[in-house]
Amino acid sequence: MDVDINSYERYLNGDDSAFADIVREYADGLMLYINSFTRNIHIAEDLTEEVFFKLAVKKPHFRKQSSFKTWLYSIGRNIALDYLRKESRYAKTSIEEHKDTQMEEESIELLYLKEEQKVKLHTCLKSLKPEYAQVLYLVFFEEFDNAQTAQIMKKTKRQTENLIYRAKAALKSKLEKEGFEYENI
């Protein structure tokens, strides 16, 4: 945690290589998290770039009320929600464009998630309600604790614990339908 804060402080003091370290460390995970909102990997990539652009240009103040990663993912969540609000005002793309984008997205995800069980797990995770997918992604893939997850999702710790319980039950049900063998889900 101190390394991340230190990198951001070094960047604020003029060390551009520190910013590159932050991007290298968090870009992939942040993009996959944002993808749980947008369900379009290309848009998630653009929004991830927007998060880092905001850090580079606006240089927001990090108050140290949470870990740097929690703060960064909160910024990503806010940018994704802003995008979805704006997008809901405009007409959607054609079905043909959506199919092409979806096929590209699936191939990129398959490259990222090489093992067969991870692909099944990720597919089932995407079929859950977005809120369930987000909370499971934050807790199990990004390894945030419940308090950090609650802060990112703007919920109480108790609401987050209940959400995790319901999300795990829904995921378990989906995985059982797929014939997935699991250990401790």
CATH label of the domain that carries residue 2: 1.10.1740.10
pLDDT by residue for the chain (185 residues), tens only, comes to 456 777 888 888 888 888 888 899 899 999 999 998 888 999 999 999 999 999 888 888 888 888 888 899 999 999 999 999 988 776 555 555 555 556 666 666 555 545 566 667 777 888 889 999 899 889 888 889 999 999 999 999 999 999 999 999 998 888 888 776 655 44
Q: Are 106 and 145 in the same domain?
A: no
Last residue of a domain, one of 112, 127, 161: 112
Structure token pair of residue 82: 């802003």
Structure token pair of residue 119: 């692909």
The C-alpha atoms of residue 178 and residue 182 are separated, in whole angstroms, by 11
Q: Are 145 and 82 in the same domain?
A: no
pTM: 0.65
* Tokens 């014939």 -> residue: 179
